């Protein structure tokens, strides 16, 4: 495999993508960003990155691949809202499946050395009885969003077998931290913090006892870079193996941000999973990686960023 010098990041103006771009630039890589700015923000863009405002569904991104000739691709552009995928499954499939196939075809056509895909450990497995969930567990997603992520993992495996395109699929837990968009229903921590800072009432869906695996952005990026540098191919969970409920997050943030907030509940959306935590045994073994920032530390770092931003 040739030395990787130039990386293309789809979704590089978004939450995870912009943090990834910054880290790659610090590592000395030349960076190209494709983002349609539908949820990403211009202020997230690193000025050292070569930015193209474009949609991954647009066939014109071929011209970007032809001009830039990236050595590696980090595919992080997506419709990220599982609830929206239930309301608008065709839109979700168009972006997350057809858009991803457009990216894959260009990777094949322009002989990209490796593709790293942002998958979802929070949605792809479905309802599971035994936790934490290993990568070997049979995935049975409930939401169209999770179905789309699984479909692209299957396409990645197919492209490797047929076209010899190496890939890594990172099944992230619920990543949180600075820059997460509070206007999306996908980031409960960002939503709770901004509501509390504005003296508005955050809403807890369901009974608040359902759990997810929350991982701080810095730890997620460290795992991403470690996987990129290893000669690894396949699927990796990126999480903490810890379960945390919205009720727990509410009480932690109430103490940090706004003691006056009260619990208010609303009915849970369909396909809301009861419990999620991801086994990271494989990541520890393959990457020699483990998360370093616990939830309490991560919440304080995140709150401080939102305080300075709002």
**Domain harbouring 138, CATH code:** 3.40.50.720
We report the CATH number of the domain holding residue 248 as 3.90.25.10
Q: How far apart are the first and last CA of the chain?
A: 46
The predicted-structure confidence for 238-276, as pLDDT tens digits, reads as follows 999 999 999 999 999 999 998 889 999 999 887 789 999
- Tell me the pLDDT band of 224, cut-offs 50, 70 and 90: very high
pLDDT recorded at residue 270: 79
Q: Are 268 and 262 in contact (CB under 8 A)?
A: no
Beta carbons within 8 Å of 163's beta carbon, 6+ residues apart:
108
Picking from 127, 126, 128, 116, the residue whose alpha carbon sits closest to that of residue 152 is 116
Residue 192's domain spans which residues?
177-212+242-275+293-309
Q: Would residue 262 count as lying in a domain?
A: yes
- Assess whether 79 and 159 both reside in one domain: yes
- Token output for 118: 């942002």
- CA dist 88 and 237 (Å) reads 27
Answer yes or no: is pLDDT of 101 > 80: yes
Mean pLDDT value of segment 53-71? 98
Positions annotated as catalytic residues are 145
Which among 239, 234, 214 has a CA at the least distance from the CA of 289? 239
My answer on whether 51 and 121 are in the same domain is yes
pLDDT at 223 over 60: yes
287 lies in some domain: no
What share of the chain in percent tops pLDDT 70? 98
Cβ atoms of residues 240 and 203 within 8 Å = no
Tokens 């920032």 correspond to what residue? 293
Alpha helices, H only, 110-245: 144-163, 188-197, 217-229
Does any domain span residue 142?
yes
Task: Compute the mean pLDDT over every residue in the chain, rounded to the nearest whole number.
Answer: 95
Indicate whether 284 belongs to any domain: no
Structure token digits, residue 24: 């790659």
Whether 67 and 204 share a structural domain: no
How confident is the model over 192-212, as a mean pLDDT?
94
**Is pLDDT at 292 greater than 70 in this prediction?**
yes
Task: Looking at the structure, tell me whether residues 130 and 232 fall in a common domain.
Answer: yes
195/264 same-domain check: yes
Mean pLDDT of 233-239: 97
Q: Is residue 300 part of a domain?
A: yes
Check if the beta carbon of residue 8 is closer than 8 Å to that of residue 2. no
Using a pLDDT cut of 90, give the percent of the chain over it: 90
pTM of this prediction?
0.96
Whether residues 302 and 190 fall in one domain: yes
Does residue 285 lie in a domain region?
no
Tens of pLDDT, residues 268-279: 887 789 999 999
User: Same domain, yes or no, for 199 and 86?
Assistant: no
Q: How many domains does the chain have?
A: 2
Looking at the structure, tell me whether residues 225 and 199 fall in a common domain. no
Within this chain, do residues 41 and 79 fall inside the same structural domain, yes or no? yes
Query: How many Å apart are CA 265 and CA 220, to the nearest integer?
Result: 30
Give residue-wise pLDDT tens across range 145-188. 999 999 999 999 999 999 999 999 999 999 999 999 887 656 89
With respect to residue 107, please indicate whether it lies within any of the assigned structural domains.
yes
What token pair was written down for 225? Answer: 């870079």
Residue 2 has pLDDT above 70, yes or no: no
pLDDT of 194 above 60? yes
Are both 79 and 226 inside the same structural domain? yes
User: Both 99 and 234 in a single domain?
Assistant: yes
| Close Cβ partners of 216 (under 8 Å, ≥ 6 residues apart) | 175, 176, 177, 291, 293, 295, 297, 298, 301, 302
Domain membership flag for residue 247 = yes
What does the DSSP 8-state code read for residue 165? -
Quick one: average pLDDT of 13-33? 98
Asked if 104 and 43 sit in the same domain, the reply is: yes
State CA 151 to chain mean position distance.
16
| Average pLDDT, integer, range 40-62 | 97
* CA dist., res. 45 & res. 65, Å (int): 19
CA distance 15 to 190: 11
């Amino acid at each position: 495999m040739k030395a990787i010098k130039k990386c293309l990041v789809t979704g590089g103006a978004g939450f995870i993508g912009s943090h990834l771009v910054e880290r790659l630039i610090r590592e000395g890589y030349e960076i190209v960003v494709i983002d349609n700015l539908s949820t990403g923000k211009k202020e997230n863009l690193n000025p050292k990155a070569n930015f193209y405002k474009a949609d991954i569904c647009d066939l014109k991104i071929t011209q970007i691949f032809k001009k830039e000739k990236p050595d590696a691709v980090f595919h992080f552009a997506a419709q990220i809202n599982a609830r929206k995928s239930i309301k608008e499954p065709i839109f979700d499939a168009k972006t997350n499946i057809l858009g991803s196939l457009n990216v894959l075809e260009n990777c094949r056509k322009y002989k990209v050395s490796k593709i790293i895909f942002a998958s979802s450990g929070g949605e792809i497995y479905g309802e599971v009885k035994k936790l934490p969930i290993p990568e070997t567990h049979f995935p049975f997603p409930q939401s169209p969003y999770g179905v789309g992520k699984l479909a692209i993992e299957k396409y990645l495996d197919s492209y490797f077998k047929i076209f010899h395109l190496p890939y890594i699929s990172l099944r992230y837990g619920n990543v949180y931290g600075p820059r997460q968009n509070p206007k999306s229903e996908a980031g409960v921590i960002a939503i709770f913090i901004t509501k509390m800072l504005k003296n508005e009432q955050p809403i807890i869906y369901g009974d608040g006892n359902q759990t997810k695996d929350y991982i701080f952005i810095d730890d997620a990026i460290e795992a991403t870079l470690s996987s990129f540098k290893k000669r690894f191919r396949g699927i990796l969970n990126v999480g903490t193996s810890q379960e945390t409920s919205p009720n727990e997050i509410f009480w932690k943030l109430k103490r940090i941000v706004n003691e006056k907030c009260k619990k208010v509940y609303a009915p849970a959306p369909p396909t809301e999973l009861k419990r999620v935590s991801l086994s990271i045994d494989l990541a520890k073994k393959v990457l020699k990686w483990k998360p370093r920032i616990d939830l309490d530390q991560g919440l304080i770092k995140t709150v401080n960023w939102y305080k300075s931003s709002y």
